[in-house]
Amino acid sequence: MLEHTPKHLEDELCFSIYTAQRFYNRFYTDALKKYKLTYAQYITLLVLWETKDAMIIRDLGERLKLDTGTLTPLLKRMEKDGWVTRTKTKADGRKVYITLTDKALELEDEIKSQVTSCFRNMNMSTEDYQQAVRFIQSIAQKLEENNELLVDSPKF
């Protein structure tokens, strides 16, 4: 079990993740500027490009770890900008399907190539990148498990 007493800000994992996240946001802002996409819109497109099929907002939110209150305005903006269409089902008007537009499908390879070329400028090896992804996924899983324990624990 980790014994940890905070001493210096720079030694804190939370600060390192926070700082990296801020730099990542700036990185993606620059990489996606040409397409007028935000990072959140980009990762939404990534999920939809993986499936190529219409997705229910709830399922999309689960993949992105976003609630519908955050996802709905994001998708409305993406629809306005021509990236997705939102279609309510006739049987249940509460269910909304999200579908990629032709624009999104046509620009998929170009956008992915743009992001890839920006990553090349980072001079990070594939091995280091994959190791970082696995490590951060492990941290996220531990935090998620801990949060579930906190939610399920009795309140005093």
pLDDT in tens, 58-95: 999 999 999 989 999 999 999 999 999 999 877 776 78
| pTM of structure | 0.84
| pLDDT score recorded for residue 152 | 55
- pLDDT tier for residue 155 given thresholds of 50, 70 and 90: very low
As given in the structure block, the two tokens for residue 113 are: 């190539």
End-to-end CA distance of the chain: 25
Is residue 11 assigned to a domain? no
Domain count, the chain: 2
Q: Find the helix packing angle between 39-51 and 68-80, rounded to 10°.
A: 90
| pLDDT score recorded for residue 97 | 94
Is residue 96 assigned to a domain? yes
Is residue 8 assigned to a domain? no
Q: Are residues 106 and 85 in the same domain?
A: yes
Report the CATH number that the domain containing residue 56 is assigned in CATH: 1.10.10.10
As a whole number of Å, the CA-based R_g of the chain is 19
| φ and ψ at residue 86, rounded to 5 degrees | -115, 125
Residue 16 has pLDDT above 50, yes or no: yes
Angle at 67 between CA 141 and CA 59, to 5 degrees: 80
| Pairwise pLDDT comparison (110 vs 124), residue with the higher score | 110
Is residue 100 assigned to a domain? yes
C-beta separation of 83 from 103 below 8 A? yes
| pLDDT score recorded for residue 89 | 79
Residue in the structure block whose two tokens are 């801990």 = 146
Q: Are residues 135 and 62 in the same domain?
A: no
- Report the b/e string of 41-63 with b at 16+ CB within 10 A: bbbbbebbeeeeebbebeebbee
As given in the structure block, the two tokens for residue 44 are: 């939404």
Q: Are residues 127 and 99 in the same domain?
A: no
Residue 113 has pLDDT above 80, yes or no: yes
C-beta separation of 85 from 79 below 8 A? yes
Structural domain of 68: 18-122
> Tens of pLDDT along 88-102?
877 776 789 999 999
As given in the structure block, the two tokens for residue 26 are: 């700036």
Quick one: which of 33, 45, 151, 135 has its CA closest to 98? 45
As given in the structure block, the two tokens for residue 152 are: 């399920």
Give CA–CA dist 134/15, Å, rounded. Answer: 19
